[in-house]
């Protein structure tokens, strides 16, 4: 059944590869604007690759990605993708989320620092601000990466297993947070193995062997206003 929500991202016949390995094959999907979409599927099915394609950091081998928003999506990578030895504090990690907004000025303005503070507060990591990222627990590090994603203030927030390695209370906090972010008009797409988090989403896309196996809430055929970077 078609729902009346316009698409924030529209994928048409998208394929993506790593050398000889095909990770995505002919993916068609519409991501509803201002909603939470969960990408589900087994290990190796192509969820992270799809997030990378939508983020614009993984090239498409064929097909097209149309984005309705002018800004590059914010991508929160899996914690395991960040080296333990990265010599950076929690505050600086979150501040990196503002880098794309700095332009020619090389320093954070007062408004940028306020956003960084607010995002750390929201993720409950203010007390950890001066700690090196590599000294944190997995769950604490995941929160810092999430805060960095929020600090980007993008219209589209992509998250790769944001609740992985978090305890039950923190997982519930993330689900609530994603709902709040979405309510503020942001389109959220998250890859997850958590059935509960997937059920909380407005829209679920199941990927199997690089293909869309189930798309449970297609959006309407409204045109996408502009292509992204």
Cβ closest to ligand ATP, residue 41 vs residue 73: 41
Cβ closest to ligand ATP, residue 112 vs residue 194: 194
Backbone angles phi, psi at 71, to 5 degrees: -85, 150
Interatomic CA distance for residues 25 and 23, integer angstroms? 7
Q: Provide the minimum distance between the beta carbon of 148 and ligand ATP in the complex, in angstroms, as a whole number.
A: 20
Residue 110 within binding range of ligand ATP, rule CB under 6 A:
no
Residue 47 within binding range of ligand ATP, rule CB under 6 A:
yes
Residue 137 within binding range of ligand ATP, rule CB under 6 A:
no
Considering only 14, 31, 36, 49, the residue that binds ligand ATP (CB under 6 A) is 49
CB 200 within 8 A of CB 35: no
Residue 46 within binding range of ligand ATP, rule CB under 6 A:
yes
CB 223 within 8 A of CB 39: no
CB 197 within 8 A of CB 38: yes
Residue 195 within binding range of ligand ATP, rule CB under 6 A:
no
Q: Give me the sheet containing 36-40, strands edge to edge.
A: 74-76, 156-160, 187-191, 36-40, 203-208, 211-215
Considering only 10, 25, 40, 45, the residue that binds ligand ATP (CB under 6 A) is 45
Interatomic CA distance for residues 51 and 177, integer angstroms? 19
Query: Which residues are at the interface with ligand ATP (CB under 6 A)?
Result: 18, 21, 23, 41, 43-49, 191
């Amino acid at each position: 059944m078609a729902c009346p929500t316009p698409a924030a991202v529209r994928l048409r016949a998208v394929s993506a590869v790593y050398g000889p390995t095909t990770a995505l094959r002919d993916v068609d999907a519409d991501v509803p604007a201002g909603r939470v979409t969960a990408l589900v599927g087994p290990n190796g099915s192509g969820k992270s690759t799809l997030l990378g394609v939508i983020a614009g950091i993984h090239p498409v081998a064929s097909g097209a990605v149309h984005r309705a928003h002018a800004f590059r999506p914010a991508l929160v990578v899996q914690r395991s993708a960040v080296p333990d030895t990265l010599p950076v504090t929690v505050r600086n990690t979150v501040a990196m989320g503002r880098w794309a907004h700095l332009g020619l000025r090389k320093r954070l303005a007062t408004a940028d620092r306020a956003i960084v503070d607010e995002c750390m507060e929201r993720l409950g990591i203010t007390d950890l601000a001066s700690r090196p990222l590599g000294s944190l627990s997995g769950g604490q590090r995941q929160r810092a990466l999430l805060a960095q994603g929020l600090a980007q203030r993008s219209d589209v927030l992509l998250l790769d297993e944001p609740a992985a390695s978090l305890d039950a209370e923190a997982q519930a906090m993330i689900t609530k947070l994603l709902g709040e972010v979405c309510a503020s008009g942001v389109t959220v797409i998250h890859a997850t193995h958590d059935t509960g988090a997937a059920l909380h989403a407005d829209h679920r896309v199941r990927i199997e062997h690089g293909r869309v196996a189930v798309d449970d809430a297609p959006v309407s055929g409204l045109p996408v206003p502009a292509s992204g970077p």
